[in-house]
Amino acid sequence: MTRVTSWPRRAIVRARITMARLVRRVVHAFRASLRLRIMASALAIGVVAVAALGLYLSTSVRDGMVERRLESIENETAALTTDANEQFRSSAVTDEQQAQQLMGLVAQRILTSASNVEAVFVVHPLGTQPQVSDVIIPVSMGAQQDALLTEDLRRENARLREQRAGANEQVVQFAEVQDPGQPNRTGPGIVVGTSLQVPKFGTYEIYYVYSLQPEQETLSFVYRVLGIGAAFVLLLIGLITALVSRQTVAPVTRAAAVAERLSDGHLDERLPGVTGIDEMATLSRSFNAMADSLQQQIQQMEELSTAQRQFVSDVSHELRTPLTTIRMAGDVIHAAREQLDADASRSAELLTDQIERFEGLLSDLLEISRFDAGAAVLDAEQRDLGDVVRSVVQMALPLAENKQAPVSVRLPDGDTVADIDPRRIERIVRNLVVNAIEHSEGRPVEVTVGQDASAVAVVVRDYGVGMTKPQVEHVFNRFWRADPARARTTGGSGLGLAIAHEDARLHAGRLEAWGRPGRGASFRLTLPRRAGIRLDSSPVPLVPESHEPEVATGQIPVVHPPAGASPTAIPDLEVR
């Protein structure tokens, strides 16, 4: 069943993917740039501070203006009400119609004399004439009277009238009133209610309507000024932060770049333009002094290493001539050992064995000195790794018979041809096989060859004493021995695995080790088939399947042989 996705859904998915990529890029840029983090932190703190300050200032200005305006309005309405009461007391009205006419005149006079009053409503007391339509309206605000003279406002005014006992109490309510300049638009305002005493006719309610539009415009202007000031302050904070971060981060960035150049081997790199006496100048001078010290120490170490390599090479070469003479004399004595007594005959045999060991040690030292001097040359040719392994195992059979260690070889079905130096690869495999036989303690030794499209490999596995993890990590060190008290029955020099490791590196290959105490050890040599191939895996596993993968430092992930390899044992190489 084919699933059809509509184009809006695909567009949403693409938008989400694009947004996720953008977020990842922003996060990466934020984490990778110290300067950006400093600016972002400073701006965030600035925004919070400016917002808090702006909120405090705007609130304070607004509350102050409203309180002052409200106080002024209350004083004004009190004075207007007192004046209106005086006019009614001094008048000689005889009926209610005259009283209402006088109320209209008083209200009209209030509107003309008090410029801040937008409207005046005179209403019969609540309970006697509850209809708002009976309001005496001297101005054109009738459309707003229902919204301004609310039931709650009139009830509160009536309550105060009953409780004030002749005092001129007022009730205040905020409301939306018509804008004097634009009648179609409303704005903030205040309705103030109190009582009007009319002789012979009782008490009436009077309400004054004030517009707060001028104060609103003033507040809007203050808000705009605060907004512009906040933007300017934030811009100033950003510029100052950018300048400060540039002055502080730029030297660190230059120091990081110079440090990378130093780590790449460019020991002459230094921080330029070191002037001044501030902290950054001190840091630059200290960095350059550290670089000078490191360069001097590295040069001294290189000179010492060169002298040591030259010394080893010279000594090895110089020892060849006397060793040749000793070898000739030892051969003469060894040939005549049957004519000597038993002790002298045994001494002649020991002398010959140690001379052979000495010759091997000199050869290994010369080979190591070539690697150290970078003079080792790879003489590569196309050879079959399986043939090399066969030849090495055949030569190791006498030692295996002596140790009573069965040796078996398994080869893959395909070819194992690669560009290798046969002499060096034979030396690696011989070293691994001989070591496995020596440490097998009579148990089997398995040699497995594998191949894939990019690499060939050989694994030498024994079931002898094995190694611990720390021993595996040091097994390729020069003159290192897992058990210093263990005798070298075959006269090893202690440099075999170190030379084998260098030979593998010379081929752009890898030599790795694994071991467990009492369960044996495994060594794997992996070589690329052609020059320039990068090894990311190996066709043969290093760690046995019955054990958890725990290999030496720098090893590649364990990869099992590909299907179809089906290695087969070679009976004629087995030692029973």
Q: 127 vs 421, which has greater pLDDT?
A: 421
pLDDT computed for residue 393 by the predictor: 92
Tell me the per-residue pLDDT of 322-345, one tens digit each, with 9 for 90 and over: 877 887 877 888 788 788 788 888
Contact status, residue 406 vs residue 369, Cβ threshold 8 Å: no
Domain total in the chain: 3
Expressed in angstroms, the distance from the first to the final Cα of the chain is 63
pLDDT greater than 50 at residue 142: no
- Answer yes or no: do 400 and 444 share one domain: yes
- Answer yes or no: do 284 and 398 share one domain: no
- Answer yes or no: do 323 and 430 share one domain: no
CA 309 to chain centre: 44
Which pairs count as long-range contacts for 77-83, CB under 8 Å and 24+ apart, including other chains? 77/170, 77/192, 77/194, 77/208, 78/168, 78/170, 78/194, 80/110, 80/114, 80/117, 80/208, 81/168, 81/194, 81/195, 81/196, 81/206, 82/168
Contact status, residue 448 vs residue 461, Cβ threshold 8 Å: yes
Report the candidate in 235, 212, 216 with the shortest Cα–Cα distance to residue 224. Answer: 216
Tell me the per-residue pLDDT of 98-123, one tens digit each, with 9 for 90 and over: 777 777 777 777 777 666 777 777 77
With a CB cutoff of 8 Å and minimum separation 6, the contacts of 127 are 158
pLDDT greater than 60 at residue 247: yes
Burial class (CB in 10 A: 0-12, 13-18, 19+), 396: buried
pLDDT band at residue 183 under the 50/70/90 scheme = low
pLDDT computed for residue 140 by the predictor: 40
* Token digits of residue 32: 């990778």
pLDDT computed for residue 456 by the predictor: 92
Name the domain boundary from 329, 351, 372: 372
Pairing of strands 455-462, 520-528: antiparallel
- Answer yes or no: do 391 and 530 share one domain: yes
- Answer yes or no: do 344 and 385 share one domain: no
- Answer yes or no: do 185 and 329 share one domain: no
pLDDT greater than 60 at residue 19: yes
| Pairwise CA distance, residues 122 & 136, whole Å | 5
Burial class (CB in 10 A: 0-12, 13-18, 19+), 149: buried
Q: Establish if 44 belongs to a structural domain.
A: no
CATH number of the domain where residue 339 is located: 1.10.287.130
Q: Establish if 416 belongs to a structural domain.
A: yes
Report the candidate in 34, 13, 37, 199 with the shortest Cα–Cα distance to residue 102. Answer: 199
Q: Which amino acid is at 377?
A: V
Tell me the per-residue pLDDT of 339-369, one tens digit each, with 9 for 90 and over: 878 888 888 788 887 877 777 777 766 777 7
| Pairwise CA distance, residues 168 & 94, whole Å | 26
Q: What predicted TM-score, i.e. pTM, was given to this entire model?
A: 0.47
Q: Which amino acid is at 77?
A: T
**What is the residue range of 150's domain?**
90-215
Average pLDDT, the chain: 77
Report the candidate in 212, 175, 183, 204 with the shortest Cα–Cα distance to residue 66. Answer: 212
With a CB cutoff of 8 Å and minimum separation 6, the contacts of 206 are 81, 84, 107, 120, 121, 122, 123, 193, 194, 195, 196
Q: Establish if 208 belongs to a structural domain.
A: yes
Q: Establish if 256 belongs to a structural domain.
A: no
CATH number of the domain where residue 556 is located: 3.30.565.10
| Pairwise CA distance, residues 194 & 206, whole Å | 6
Name the domain boundary from 372, 391, 420: 372
Q: 557 vs 335, which has greater pLDDT?
A: 335
- Answer yes or no: do 512 and 441 share one domain: yes
CATH number of the domain where residue 164 is located: 3.30.450
